[in-house]
């Protein structure tokens, strides 16, 4: 048996219209999973769905603004009803706002904490309840960050949310282990995505990234997908509560 296969599994991936979420969705489909794509943009989701289907995969799209926390539970119920069962949940969707902490607007603080931390918790609740009711195991993968371990000026809310994601991952892993629900996280290093485009275009910052990353370059989304497939597959069945950093050696570098 190929323990890295996701055949006969259904995976729900938020933020899957672009960037890391899209890369994970394509990798999961390539590993045999059916994928549920969730993001705000219907047209972008349709493009990802088409790409998956052209390669022989199966995908559903559910356009939804996840900042509407009160509707997240209902969204999951719709997904569960249409797909029959969700085996894997990947919480990718997130946002950032950059300004000094002393001037940081409280509305932006609340917006970032809601999307980056509260929504993954609410979706995880719905997913876990479905696993418990259906008496089947499940895998949850959260997206943490280097900022779960370290900090940089100007992004206090994002840093707080990613520190929270690491702790939430451990809390849910401990509580839900008895239900055979594995909960882990991936901490990306500096990856080229739409979210980081302003930083990539900043020559001084890119120079800093390349010098502080032992492997010497920005990560590409496809370089994250192996860790995601591993954590979603049977190969990781005895791993829970962990954050795996895919960072080109950044955290190991003094």
Longest CA–CA span in the chain (Å) reads 55
Residues present in the chain in total: 254
User: Strand ranges (DSSP E) for 104-240?
Assistant: 138-143, 181-188
Q: What is each CA distance from 195 to 90, 97, 179, in whole angstroms? A: 18, 10, 35
- What SS3 string covers 33-95? CEEEEEECCHHHHHHHHHHHHHCCCCEEEEECCCCCHHHHHHHHHHHHHHHCCCCEEEECCCC
Residue of 158, 179, 190, 245 with catalytic role: 158
| 158 flagged as catalytic | yes
- 160: Cβ contacts below 8 Å, ≥ 6 apart: 113
Distance CA 141, CA 83 (A): 19
Distance CA 11, CA 87 (A): 6
What DSSP element (H or E) covers 124? helix 119-134
Active centre residues (catalytic): 158
């Amino acid at each position: 048996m190929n323990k890295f296969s996701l055949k006969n599994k259904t995976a729900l991936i938020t933020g899957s219209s672009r960037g890391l979420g899209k890369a994970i969705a394509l990798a999961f489909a390539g590993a045999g999973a059916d994928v549920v794509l969730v993001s705000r943009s219907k047209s972008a989701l349709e493009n990802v769905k088409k790409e998956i289907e052209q390669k022989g995969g199966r995908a559903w799209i559910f356009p939804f603004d996840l900042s509407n926390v009160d509707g997240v539970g209902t969204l999951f119920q719709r997904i569960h009803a249409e797909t029959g069962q969700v085996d894997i949940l990947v919480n990718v969707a997130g946002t950032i706002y950059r300004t000094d902490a002393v001037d940081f607007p409280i509305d932006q603080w609340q917006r970032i904490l809601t999307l980056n931390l509260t929504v993954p918790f609410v979706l995880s609740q719905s997913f876990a309840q479905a696993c418990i009711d259906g008496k089947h195991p499940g895998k949850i993968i959260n997206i943490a960050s280097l900022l779960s371990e370290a900090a940089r000026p100007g992004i206090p809310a994002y840093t707080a949310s990613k520190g929270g994601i690491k702790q939430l991952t451990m809390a849910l892993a401990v509580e839900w282990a008895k239900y055979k629900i594995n909960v882990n996280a991936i901490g990306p290093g500096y990856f080229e995505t739409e979210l980081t485009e302003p930083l990539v275009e900043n020559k001084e910052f890119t120079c800093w990234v390349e010098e502080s990353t032992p492997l010497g370059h920005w990560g590409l989304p496809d370089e994250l997908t192996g860790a995601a497939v591993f954590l979603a597959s049977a190969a990781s069945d005895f791993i829970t509560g962990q954050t795996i950093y895919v960072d080109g050696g950044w955290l190991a570098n003094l």
